[in-house]
Structure 1
Amino acid sequence: MVKVSAKTVLVSAIASGQGKTTTTAALARKLLGMGKTVRIFKTGPDFIDPMMLERACGAAVHSLDLWMVGHAASQAMLAQAASEVDVILIEGVMGLYDGNPSSADLARAFGVPVLAVLDASAMAQTVGALAMGLRDFGPVNLAGVIANRVASDGHAKMVADAMRDIPLFGSLRRQAEALPERHLGLVLPQEVARMEAILDAMANELVLDMAVWDALPETSFDTSDIATSRNTSLSGKTIAIARDAAFAFLYPANLDCLRELGAELVYFSPLADQAIPLHADALYLPGGYPELHAQTLAQASNWLASLRAAHVCKMPILAECGGMMAITEALVDQQGQRWPMAALMPGQVIMQQRLAALGAQAWQTGQGELRGHTFHYSRFETSLNANSHTVKQATGQAGEAIYQDGNLHASYFHAYFVSNPAATAALFLRAVE
């Protein structure tokens, strides 16, 4: 077995909101400015943070997860990255020990040291106590700490003096211009005109102790050949994919999977009122923010007409979350305004202030289990009966409804295609005439 290595840390915290994404992006930009090559991964299912981190490092950000992605596939991606770059950064999810599997489980599974981001804005010496607790609770190999939102050099020194035997990698000042957020997390990077300037400013504000960084040993990964699917049942098929600010939630691995199955991928923008490409054999409507663009979508006559025609012609359609919202009769936005949608399915989607569903789930298909997750702030009121339901990974209880009408499949469930390429291929083939 050949081993490859790179400096690797899993960036985690005591909770969400501590600044993991900001710190990971700032660290990546700073290292790139030093001439290092950097690859970033994101722990668990996520769409928005990876887009931001991709802008920070200039390379696609893939998910690592012991359940959804799997141990073997996660290890293969880490080994591949270690053979290509100097540094691997893995942004954790929620708090270090939250979830099953947790970020700590991932770090231990691959021998990756943890770099804790701790918000020091309302404390000083207590940062040391929190770091010790994170290290010892699991335990994990805690490489050190980055203190976020420090107020001054004196504040940073108080934190450093309290760290005892835990290295302080650096500190990040309170940002005058932070990464903007909305109800599903950060905004999309293409929506922020000053994104590059913000990322560069964050990197400049990160004070990194290079002696501590240089002392961090490299992490080794075993290279392994994963038995890749030889399923090429989508060979010769063209899949049209909606891709713009309303339909942006796409795993890079899902696109890779479709290509490996033999499909040609073509993209179009419903927001620009582009019709589904005429030569497409199947349609993929991913999630995103249709609720923020409901008026534009409701007035996109070419897009709506092509969508209805595709359904009448029994084109295979997969509509996930935001994609499903666009094919109902109407979407009621957070201001209570009702916007007509494509009406391929009866009922309406209503946005709400509280979270409706979150978590890992699996869809039991005729080709086996297809894994993924759900995360949405809306509900679907419909007279339709579900064809089936996903299963919640945490409890085994019924999860999201799966609706089917001929070759149309729709659900709030976001599938991770690589977990079952055969099941994925079946969704894009004309199975019902």
Structure 2
Amino acid sequence: MSSCQALLVSAPSSGAGKTSITAAIARWHHRRGLRVRVFKTGPDYLDPMILARASGHPVYQLDLFMAGLDGCRALLAQAAAEADLILVEGVMGLFDGKPSSADLAAAFGLPVLAVIDAQAMAQTFGALALGLQTYRADIKLCGVVANRIGSEAHGRMLAEGLPPSLPLVAALARQTKLALPERHLGLVQAMELPALDAQLDAWADAWGAATQDTHGGLEGLSAAFKPPAGEASAVAQPIEPTLQGRRVAVAQDSAFSFIYPANLDALRELGAELLCFSPLAGHALPACDALWLPGGYPELHAEALRAHPSFFKDLRAHLAANKPLLAECGGMLCLLESLTDAEQRQHPMAGLMPGHARLQTRLAALGLQSLAWPEGTLRGHSFHYSTLETPLTPTAHADNPNGGKTAEALYQHGSLRASYVHHYFPSNLQAVAAFFRGTAP
């Protein structure tokens, strides 16, 4: 099994700068000609868009719940065979959640680089870093990044408070102008940031300047990484192409952008021909056997979707022909009778699913989800600010593995299947294939 350098980039909490630091490291090494593969821990679409641009390669999820231990092992093994450097951006704080970033690091022996927001800290920085290092014996914290420091003297003070076993890899100055804009679901999408590449280069430049004495700062932090073998082979098993000859259309633009690359891979491996199209660009629905409307931001583009000359009509014809349509979160909202945005403007939508949705200022649902389809159980997650009113009776409700209150409904309306859940297709390929084949029970 191949090996390469690997690090998990984590922090004490969200908001410390994990994404920008991970992107800076990826971009700096990518510009030097290294093959960089970046993963994101936990369910997320927005951070991976930024990291994919930084590394020049699609970013996959490493999630012990959605993908499972063997699925994560296979992804890491493939990356180790192709890359010089693997970076894994953690989720929330290092020990937060079940499973946590620390659980992932422990499962695969990934050394951890901690990013700490130091802008309001002095000697306590060292105490916090030491606590992260010693909290669990089954992970290795190999270094620390001090983010948003006020001066070079501030950085030296922080370094002096660290034990010899925990080097300060980099101290990066606070630069408000380099912060990425955010909206209610997180970072603004990469495709909406025309200056993103220049910003990524600026981050990489800052990383290079902060680590110029150590040639990028990563040498010596970890030995060569090799994903540990398990009872199941880390080499993916052949998949029966039960969707061979089926054309699956996938809406893909800034209104429908919440797409795991692993989901597209899964459909291709099942034999489907994928037909990606952009409703916002005025594309008509391609001639297809099945359709996937993923999540995204239909509330930001409701007028453009409504103004499309044929989109809603094409969707109606697709369902009238009894062809499968999977609508997830934002894709589901697009099909309702109306959608009220955050400014309380009501937009008529496709009217193909009875009901109305309304955006609110506070989070409506968040959590990992396990949802029983008629064909079998899929795993995924939920994260939305809208609420839904529909007369439809759910065919199932999801379970939250952590016991949280989020338990999303699954709706079946003719050949339409809809839910707030963002599904991870590799969690049950047979169920996904059966639905898109149109052979639902």
Q: TM-score range by the shorter chain?
A: over 0.9
Q: For residues 385-428 of structure 1, what are the alpha-carbon distances to aligned partners after superposition, in whole Å with 9 as ceiling and x for unaligned?
A: 11111111112877101010121100000110001001111221
Aligned counterparts, 1:15-164, within 5 A: 15-139=13-137, 140-164=139-163
Does residue 210 of structure 1 match 2:214? yes
Aligned counterparts, 1:265-414, within 5 A: 265-278=274-287, 280-395=288-403, 399-414=407-422
Alignment check: 8 A CA contact 2:263 2:426 kept: yes
Q: 1: CA distance between counterparts of 2:406 and 2:186?
A: 26
Tell me by how many angstroms 1:215 deviates: 1.4
Other structure's SS at 2:109 match: coil
In structure 1, the gaps of 5 or more residues are none
How many pairs are equivalent?
430
Task: Supply the AA of the counterpart residue of 2:44.
Answer: D
Distance 1:150-1:98 versus aligned 2 partners, 3 A rule: same
Alignment check: 8 A CA contact 2:375 2:440 kept: no
Larger relative strand fraction: 1
Other structure's SS at 1:420 match: helix
Alignment check: 8 A CA contact 2:243 2:272 kept: yes
Q: 1: CA distance between counterparts of 2:365 and 2:306?
A: 26
Aligned counterparts, 1:249-268, within 5 A: 249-268=258-277
Q: For residues 7-63 of structure 1, what are the alpha-carbon distances to aligned partners after superposition, in whole Å with 9 as ceiling and x for unaligned?
A: 111100011000000000011111223332211000011111111100000000000
Once the two structures are overlaid, the 10-residue window that deviates more, 216-225 or 153-162, is 216-225
Determine the structure 2 residue equivalent to 1:221. 227
Q: For residues 125-148 of structure 1, what are the alpha-carbon distances to aligned partners after superposition, in whole Å with 9 as ceiling and x for unaligned?
A: 221111111111123200110111
Q: 2: CA distance between counterparts of 1:254 and 1:26?
A: 27
Task: Supply the AA of the counterpart residue of 2:342.
Answer: Q
Task: Supply the AA of the counterpart residue of 1:324.
Answer: M
Distance 1:432-1:23 versus aligned 2 partners, 3 A rule: closer
Distance 1:427-1:229 versus aligned 2 partners, 3 A rule: farther
Once the two structures are overlaid, the 10-residue window that deviates more, 152-161 or 327-336, is 152-161
Task: Supply the AA of the counterpart residue of 1:163.
Answer: L
Q: 2: CA distance between counterparts of 1:151 and 1:291?
A: 39
Task: Supply the AA of the counterpart residue of 1:315.
Answer: K
Other structure's SS at 2:29 match: helix
Other structure's SS at 1:373 match: strand
Alignment check: 8 A CA contact 1:117 1:145 kept: yes
Q: 2: CA distance between counterparts of 1:373 and 1:418?
A: 14
Tell me by how many angstroms 1:65 deviates: 1.1
Alignment check: 8 A CA contact 1:72 1:226 kept: no
Task: Supply the AA of the counterpart residue of 2:345.
Answer: Q
Distance 1:221-1:283 versus aligned 2 partners, 3 A rule: same
Q: 2: CA distance between counterparts of 1:245 and 1:363?
A: 26
Q: 2: CA distance between counterparts of 1:398 and 1:103?
A: 21
Q: 1: CA distance between counterparts of 2:332 and 2:375?
A: 22
Distance 1:329-1:120 versus aligned 2 partners, 3 A rule: same
Tell me by how many angstroms 1:229 deviates: 5.3
Alignment check: 8 A CA contact 2:241 2:269 kept: yes
Q: 2: CA distance between counterparts of 1:353 and 1:54?
A: 29
Give the RMSD, CA atoms, in angstroms: 1.6
Q: 1: CA distance between counterparts of 2:110 and 2:384?
A: 31
Q: 1: CA distance between counterparts of 2:188 and 2:168?
A: 30
% identical equivalent positions: 52
Alignment check: 8 A CA contact 2:30 2:56 kept: no
Other structure's SS at 1:241 match: strand
Alignment check: 8 A CA contact 2:340 2:346 kept: yes
Task: Supply the AA of the counterpart residue of 2:161.
Answer: A
Q: 2: CA distance between counterparts of 1:120 and 1:222?
A: 35
Tell me by how many angstroms 1:432 deviates: 6.6
Q: TM-score with structure 2 length normalisation?
A: 0.94
Q: 1: CA distance between counterparts of 2:374 and 2:302?
A: 35
Does residue 427 of structure 1 match 2:427? no
Tell me by how many angstroms 1:89 deviates: 0.5
Tell me by how many angstroms 1:225 deviates: 4.2
**After TM superposition, which residue ranges in structure 1, 4 or more long, deviate above 6 angstroms?**
none
Task: Supply the AA of the counterpart residue of 1:181.
Answer: E
Alignment check: 8 A CA contact 1:363 1:371 kept: yes
**Correspondent of 1:5 among 3, 6, 21:** 3
Alignment check: 8 A CA contact 2:373 2:396 kept: no
Alignment check: 8 A CA contact 2:366 2:406 kept: no
Alignment check: 8 A CA contact 2:365 2:385 kept: yes
Determine the structure 1 residue equivalent to 2:197. 196
Q: For residues 193-229 of structure 1, what are the alpha-carbon distances to aligned partners after superposition, in whole Å with 9 as ceiling and x for unaligned?
A: 1100100001111212527522122222246344535
Q: TM-score with structure 1 length normalisation?
A: 0.96
Q: 2: CA distance between counterparts of 1:213 and 1:105?
A: 22
Q: 2: CA distance between counterparts of 1:234 and 1:336?
A: 42
In structure 2, the gaps of 5 or more residues are none
Q: 1: CA distance between counterparts of 2:73 and 2:182?
A: 31
